[in-house]
Chains A and B, each alone.
Chain A
C-alpha cells in the first residue's frame, strides 16, 4: 500500500527542540517531492517547505525560512521536520504530503502530527 505514516502527537515546552517524521512506503521514495504543511488551530493550510529526497534539494516558504529544518534519510524512506527552539505559536497540526507532477499537486497525505507547545 502506498502511504505516508507520520510520527505521533507531541507535547513540548517552549524552548525545547523537536523532530517529527514522515515515513513513505509502497513507492519509490526518492522519486517524489515531499512537503510539510502547517495548520494552526482554526486557521488555513500553509506550505512550510518541500524537499526532493533524490538529491535533498530543499526549498522553504519565506515565512518558515530559518524557523524550521526539513531533511530526509533516504536509507529509511523518511522525511523530517525539525525545530531547535519551539514557541507556543508552533502549536499546530503538521501534515507531510507527497507531490505528483513535480510538486504541482498532492495526491498522498500523511495522517498528521499534532504538536502542542505549552508551559
Chain B
C-alpha cells in the first residue's frame, strides 16, 4: 500500500480558510468512510482533529471540518489562527486491514 497523496505545503493569512487534500484509491480513501486527520506540532504527539471523514472529537474547534468525494478527502480550516501552524496528516483504513497515512502537509500561517 502506498502513502496517501497530500500537498507538501499550504499557507494562508490569519482569518482566511485553507483546504488540504488527501488522495488515495478505492482500496482506502474511496472504499471506506474511515478517513481521519491529525495535527502535529514539533516535539509533540499527533492530535486527532477529524475522524470518520467529517466528525470532530470533543474539544476540537469547529473551525476544522472534513469531507470526501470519491478517492479524495479534504480538511478545511476556517478562520486561520497562528496556533494552527503545524503539520497535518490524513489517515485512512485500507482493504488490507491496516491504516495508511498521507505524506503530510506543512501549514504556514503568514
Contacts and interface: CB of A to CB of B under 8 A. Distances in A.
Interface of A: 35, 37, 44-47, 49-50, 59-62, 95, 100-107, 109-112
A35 B99 contact: yes
A109 B1 contact: no
A104 B51 contact: yes
Contact of A105 (B40, B45, B48): B48
B65 interface: no
A49 B91 CA distance: 14
Contact of B104 (A45, A50, A107, A111): A45
Contact of B45 (A50, A61, A109): A109
Interface string B5-48: 00000000000000000000000000010101010100001101
Interface residues of B, number: 26
Leading 4 A-B pairs by shortest Cβ distance? A109-B45, A44-B104, A105-B51, A104-B34
Contact of A110 (B45, B87, B104): B45
B45 A47 contact: no
Interface of B: 1, 3, 32, 34, 36, 38, 40, 45-46, 48, 51-52, 57, 87, 89, 91, 93, 96-104
Given A101-B52, A107-B48, A44 B34 contact: no
Contacts, number: 68
B46 A45 contact: yes
B51 A109 contact: no
Contacts of B48: 105-107
B64 to A, nearest CB: 14
Contacts of B46: 45, 95, 106, 109
28 contacts: A35-B99, A44-B89, A44-B102, A44-B103, A45-B38, A46-B101, A47-B98, A47-B101, A50-B98, A59-B96, A59-B98, A60-B98, A62-B1, A101-B34, A101-B52, A103-B97, A103-B99, A104-B32, A104-B34, A104-B36, A105-B34, A105-B48, A105-B52, A105-B91, A106-B36, A106-B46, A109-B45, A110-B45
